[in-house]
Structure 1
C-alpha cells in the first residue's frame, strides 16, 4: 500500500513539480503528517524531493527529475480502449481506479516530454462527454459483473422485459459485448440467430451457461453494433414537421439531438423543423416544449399530441373543493 502511495505521490509531483501538503493529503487520502513522512522516505532513498516551508511552500520535486512512467500495468492497458466513457460509466465498469492510475502515468509521461513547449495538448482543448442531455438511465444489473462474465464467451440466459411488456421473459442469447450509447447501456447479442440490442435497464437478471457463445464468423462487437445501429436508425422512420420559435432552436437541438433532420423557413421569429422518429408514439417527447411548438404534419402526429394533451389537461384540471 505504501509503495503504491509513494508512486502516486511521485506521479503527481512530476506533473506539477510543486504541490501543497494539504492538496497531496487530500489526493492521497492520508494525513498531512503521513505526506511529510512519505517525502522524507523518498528523500532518504535519493529522490530529489523536499518540503519547502512558508506561505508559498509545499512539496517540491527538483526540475529534471523524471520517473519512467511509460509502462502501464496489464489492467491499465485496457483503460485507453474505454476512453470515451464518462466517470459514472467507468465506475459502473469498476474501472475508475485503473483509469485514474493510467491517466496519471500518461500525464506524467507527457509532462516529461512535451511535443511542443508552449502549445496546448488536445486533452486541454477537447473534452468527450458521452452522456445524453438530461439523461438519467440506470442499468438494472451490475455492468462490471456483466462485463466480467462476457469475457468467458459463454451463452447467457437472460430475463428481459420488452418495452411493450409488463413482465420479463426468459431467453437464451449469444452475446458479443456491451455498448454505452448516449448515456444508456446495451447488450449486443444474437437471439436465435437474429441480432438484437437489449437495454440494460430492462435486463433484470442473467446466467452464464456452459455452452460457448455461437457467434457469427468474422463478426465482432464493433461490426455487429454498426449493423444493428444502422438498422435501428432506419427502421420505421417517421418524419414529423413542427413549427418552433427561432429562439427555441438551440434548446430543441439539445433535447432532440440527431433526431433533427432539417431546419428551414427561418423568418419572423419562427422556423420549421423536421424531426425523425421510429414511430408515431415517440412524438410524446415533443410535449417537453409545451405551447412553444406546433406539429404541422403528419395528421397522425397532430392527433396523437392532441390526445396526450387532452389527457394531461384532464389530469391537471382544477379540483372542486
Structure 2
C-alpha cells in the first residue's frame, strides 16, 4: 500500500539520513523507479527529501530537517500518501484541509530546522506540480470523495456508464480496484467480465454498491491493472502512416500525438517526414486537426480516408442559401 510505503521511506530516512536507491528499493520491495517517483511526489509536496545523483548519491533527507511523523494526524498522512494530486483533486477526495495542515507542519519544521540559514530555499518553493488538463475540465456527475470511500468496502458496483460512441448510458456490474487520475481526468479502474477496463468518471452517471465482495482477479492490484491498461492505451499500434508535416508544427505534433510518433526525418525545406503508428486506418481522423500543415503520403487507404473526411467537411462548410 502506497501510504504505508511512504511512511516506511520517511522513517528509514529519519534514522539513516541517506540511503542508496537500490537499498531502499530492496527494503520497500519495489523497483528503483517507484522509489524515485515516491521521492519526487514527497519533494513536490514539501517534504525535505530528494534524490542525489552521482557515485556517492542516493535518497537524502535534508540535514537538520527531520520530519516528526508522530505529529501528523492519520488524515494528514493519508493526504501525503496521494501527493501529486492538485488542490481540486484533493478537495474531491475530502483531503484538501488535511493536506494543508500537513504541509504547514512540514514547513514549520523546516523553518525551525534551518536555524542560522534563513536564506535556504525549500524544494517546494522551486517546484510546482499541476497535473490537471489545460482549459476546462469535463463535468463529473458522481462525487469522487464518496466513490473513493465506498471503494474501501471492496464490493461490486452496479454502474450506469455511457461509452464514448453511445448517446445513452447502459447498466453493468463491475469489480473495482480503485480510482486513477491522469492529465486532469478521473477514471474508475475495474474488471468488467474478468477483463480490466477504464471508466471515465465524466461518463459515469450513477453507481450503487452491491452486497457481494468484488471479484477481482487473483494477484492483481490497482497498480498492476492500471499499468497494463496504460500500456494497452498507449501502445503505438500496427498500422504505419507516413506524412509530410510543416517543420513549425513538430513540437505541437509531439504534444498531441505523443508515442504515436515513431520517427521524424528531414524532408523538403520547411517540412519533415513523420512516421506514425496507429491501431487502425480510421485513427487518421486525429490528423485532421493539423489542417493544411500536413499531407498523408501512405498507405493509400489512409490517403483515401483523409480525402473522404476532408470532402465531407468541405461539403458541410459550403455557403448556405440565404
Residue equivalent to 1:142 = 143
Counterpart CA distance in 2 for 1:146 and 1:284 is 35
Residues 70 and 105, structure 1, Cα contact 8 Å, conserved in 2: no
Q: Deviations over 1:176-199 (max 9, x none)?
A: 001112222111111122211112
Residues 236 and 259, structure 2, Cα contact 8 Å, conserved in 1: no
Could you tell me which runs of 5 or more consecutive residues in structure 2 were left unpaired when the two chains were aligned.
1-67
Residue equivalent to 1:198 = 199
Task: Flag the structure with larger Rg.
Answer: 1
Q: Deviations over 1:9-34 (max 9, x none)?
A: xxxxxxxxxxxxxxxxxxxxxxxxxx
Q: Deviations over 1:262-316 (max 9, x none)?
A: 2222552211223333433333222222211112223333222222222221122
Residues 196 and 229, structure 2, Cα contact 8 Å, conserved in 1: yes
Residue equivalent to 1:273 = 274
Residues 86 and 129, structure 1, Cα contact 8 Å, conserved in 2: yes
Residue equivalent to 1:158 = 159
SS class of match (2:71): coil
Residues 239 and 280, structure 2, Cα contact 8 Å, conserved in 1: yes
Counterpart CA distance in 2 for 1:97 and 1:266 is 55
Residue equivalent to 1:128 = 129
Residue equivalent to 2:102 = 102
Counterpart CA distance in 1 for 2:114 and 2:279 is 48
Q: Which moved more, 1:184-193 or 1:112-121?
A: 112-121
Pick closer, same or farther for the CA change 1:85–1:210 going to 2, 3 Å: same
Residue equivalent to 1:252 = 253
Residues 138 and 184, structure 1, Cα contact 8 Å, conserved in 2: no
Pick closer, same or farther for the CA change 1:298–1:109 going to 2, 3 Å: farther
Shift of 1:69: 9.2
TM-score scaled to structure 2, two decimals?
A: 0.70
CA RMSD of aligned residues (A): 2.7
Q: Which moved more, 1:96-105 or 1:131-140?
A: 131-140
Residue equivalent to 2:27 = none
Counterpart CA distance in 1 for 2:266 and 2:241 is 15
Structure 2 counterparts to residues 1-321 of structure 1, below 5 A: 71-114=71-114, 117=117, 118=119, 120-133=121-134, 136-234=137-235, 236-265=237-266, 268-321=269-322
Shift of 1:221: 0.7
Q: Deviations over 1:151-188 (max 9, x none)?
A: 11111011112223332221111100011122221111
Q: Deviations over 1:113-156 (max 9, x none)?
A: 24994554432333333234557333332212211110111110
Counterpart CA distance in 1 for 2:80 and 2:267 is 43
Residues 155 and 213, structure 2, Cα contact 8 Å, conserved in 1: yes
Counterpart CA distance in 1 for 2:166 and 2:187 is 18
Counterpart CA distance in 1 for 2:113 and 2:302 is 58
Shift of 1:319: 1.9
Q: Deviations over 1:227-278 (max 9, x none)?
A: 2222333385433322211122122223333333322225522112233334
